[in-house]
Chain A
Amino acid sequence: MERRNFLKVVAATATVIAVSPSFIRGNLYASDGTLYRAYEKTQLIGADGKPILASKLETEVNYIFNYPYASTPCLLVNLPKPTATDVELTSESGEKYIWKSGVGKNRTIVAYVAICTHQMTHPTPSDSFIMYVPEKTKTIAYETSGIIVCSSHMSAFDVHAGAKVLGGAATQPLAAVVLEHAADDTLWAVGILGSDKFQDYFKSFKPELKQFYNGPAEAKKLVSISAKTVKLTEFSKELIQY
């Protein structure tokens, strides 16, 4: 291949990836600090099977969907104010990566993997100790609300800034779900940014996965095409927040 053609191919590939990170497959530890893993592009749909529309999401309500695996819960929240942009985060092992921002008209919609990075507390159909705490609800985990709190060991995460750790026992941010907001107002999950704990989660919660997802094989199935998105109050029988 001639040098000019080679450069054209490189430039075209870079443009495609920049426009839609979901084209990348596998781990990306780029020199610019990105730590990203793409999964199947999946549409968020409601319990009725209709697409979730960004403009119809209630503000400060915890929604939940499982992604990228059938048993890995993620929180979706429409925040009352725009998120920060280009936040530099650091994983437990010291890798730096950039969380771009929330999506939607006002950059207020965010999604994070709801598995606490401390001891992997997560929502189950029985209960949830981890959730977004609205601005007017008090928490003992941190001086202000409008954050994600894991009430197991009181870790607090900055929901506006890539789930950066604000306090408590956690030592790295929650992994973020990379969302795409389409022109028709639909929402899509395309990948996971940051250091996830999926394999530890599958290993540690084997008996629980048997109970709720008919065993580890079902629990580890990758989500495909669409992910059912419901309010956390509909997913977990009991919400526990301190």
Chain B
Amino acid sequence: MKKLLTTLVVSGLLATSINAAQTDHRSVLMKDMRTMLEAMEQIQRGGLYSSTDDMKAGVKKLQGTLKSLESDDVKWILPKDQKYAYQFAQKTASMLHLYSSDMVTSIDAGRMDDALEDYSQLLKQCTSCHIRIRNW
């Protein structure tokens, strides 16, 4: 009886902690997504108001959010039916990294057309992932 009770308590604690970990990962993702949106808005504002500082600050903010998508933690934060597609999310994150880094290079070289093209590619990556993961 004592053994059974111990097993039940341990299982209960384990389930609670797994659930808590999942909730924690999801809340991190939700926070990151909100920050990503802010970063994209900042880059766009910078582009429209010719503020390269704003654009670069947006890139920095964006790249700061990619850690959870690039790592294997992404498995925890995707919807259950999309968990298998974690490599697609990781690929999207690496493309976001690539285009945003290229944007900084383009800004520094004074190639604003290229920088704005990078912005549209960033936006495309965002929508591409949302189409897939959120089943648009």
Query: Knowing A203-B117, A240-B88 touch, does A153 contact B131 (C-beta < 8 A)?
Result: yes
Interface of B, secondary structure class, is helix
Q: Give the chain A neighbours of B84 by CB distance below 8 A.
A: 242
What's the Cα separation between A129 and B114 when bound, in Å? 27
Tell whether, in the assembled complex, residue B102 and residue A206 are in contact, meaning their CB atoms are under 8 Å apart: yes
A206 CA / B102 CA spacing, docked (Å): 9
**In the complex, chain B residues whose CB is within 8 Å of the CB of A207:** 98-99, 101-102, 118
Number of B interface residues, CB 8 Å? Answer: 19
Indicate if A144 sits at the interface (CB-CB under 8 A): no
Q: Is the CB of A119 within 8 A of B98?
A: no
Within 8 A of A (CB), among B44-92: 84-85, 87-88, 91
- Indicate whether A78 reaches chain B with its CB closer than 8 angstroms: no
Which of A206, A208, A242 is the one whose CB lies under 8 Å from B85?
A242
Proximity bits, A123-158, B CB within 8 Å = 1, else 0: 000110100000000000000000000011100000
Are B88 and A152 closer than 8 Å at their CB atoms? yes
A175 to chain B, nearest CB (A): 21
Known contacts A203-B117, A206-B114, A211 near B98 by CB under 8 Å: yes
Residues in A lying within 8 Å of B, measured CB to CB: 119, 126-127, 129, 151-153, 169, 203-204, 206-208, 210-211, 238, 240, 242
> Which residues of B does A touch, CB under 8 Å?
84-85, 87-88, 91, 94-95, 98-99, 101-102, 114, 117-118, 121, 124, 128, 131-132
